[in-house]
Copies of this chain bind each other. A is one copy, B any other.
């Protein structure tokens, strides 16, 4: 691969040199730099001047840290990530960081520093509510998902984008660790001993696995629109007024419901970790995000639908219903894999004491199974909330 010829991981001082070369700071600035990455796949440098103006330089690593250097990963994901952010910015610029520069050979992207915001997952775990989170994510999804689809684009343009965002290696991570391994007794899974009976029940639940198979088939085959591909609360920066979606390195043409499903699943897992009185705000975010998504998508459909069938009565409702049903299924799969699969969420893992954590995880698994199995009869976010409230704690 010619891309690898002059690739090397940046050091902090190399990142500073690059920032100066790019002219993104005033000429005589004194810059300092810290590597702040806590992900598994990238280096993230924050560079600041003496007035604390910041810049982020993100660089893809040619391997996955979670498994060690032995698992190589394409650097092409840096291209996917910066291209996806630029594409999202065309219609939903207020919800993504500004991109200043990208270099495919070094697999780097220089972008807006969002350090004044907080990763939504961390804030939610502290008990914050982020009052505009649902509204902003709904608007982000309504715009980005409509305008990349065959409803808005000439299908020939869309097919070029499908090729541009073909993302086999990152999709493989989702295919394996989201849709497959958690549903089989394989080594990559990770969970507390007390969860073994619940995990075994999942591995033996043929009806559940049939439904997961159908959802995986959708993930593999339905090139509906350019999805973010990894829209959990760790991919969102927020405060009380602002929301920014980051890290679209898993972006590819997939099912329209995928992102809302993952967002919903991650809010539900946070809700499970909270005392009852503080849960409703998260269920409200789930409802608001859908309502705003559907509203934005519908507005764009009416205004900018290029596909002539967008004028046919009933077609928009059909697409929204399909999207919601898919999303509910994807949410269920995400909850299950985050509980017994390889990659967990802190929302559940940090619950104390241990017994409460185990109870919460068992509740999460029950909820996940119900969402997958009953998705065709779950038509509204309110019904998701009902299932959430009904799931028994053992």
Contact = CB atoms under 8 A, between A and B. Distances in A.
A29 to B, nearest CB: 44
Interface string A25-60: 000000000000000000000000000000000000
A222 B220 contact: no
A206 to B, nearest CB: 5
A168 interface: yes
6 contacts: A156-B172, A159-B171, A163-B163, A210-B312, A210-B313, A223-B223
Interface in A332-382: none
A313 B221 contact: no
A180 B214 contact: no
In the complex, the count of this chain's copies comes to 2
A73 to B, nearest CB: 12
List the 4 shortest-distance A-B pairs measured between CB atoms, nearest first: A213-B309, A156-B168, A159-B168, A150-B220
A168 B159 CA distance: 6
A4 interface: no
A217 interface: yes
Contacts of A6: none
Nearest to A164: B163
Interface string A159-183: 1101100111101100100001000
B168 A210 contact: no
Contacts of A319: 217
B213 A315 contact: yes
B184 A155 contact: no
A271 interface: no
A162 to B, nearest CB: 7
Contact of A172 (B155, B180, B206): B155
Contacts of A314: 206, 210
A326 interface: no
Nearest to A158: B220
A216 B309 contact: yes
A121 interface: no
A312 B166 contact: no
A247 interface: no
A71 interface: no
Contacts of A158: 220
Nearest to A206: B313
A308 interface: yes
B222 A180 contact: no
Given A150-B221, A222-B223, 11 more contacts: A150-B217, A155-B172, A156-B168, A159-B166, A159-B167, A159-B168, A206-B314, A210-B313, A210-B318, A213-B312, A221-B222
A268 interface: no
Contact of A166 (B150, B162, B216): B162
A212 B309 contact: yes
A81 interface: no
B312 A214 contact: no
A287 interface: no
A224 interface: yes
A159 B160 CA distance: 14
A209 interface: yes
B175 A315 contact: no
A318 B214 contact: yes
Contact of A155 (B156, B213, B220): B220
A206 B222 CA distance: 25
Contacts of A309: 180, 209, 212-213, 216
Nearest to A308: B180
Contacts of A169: 156
Nearest to A254: B221
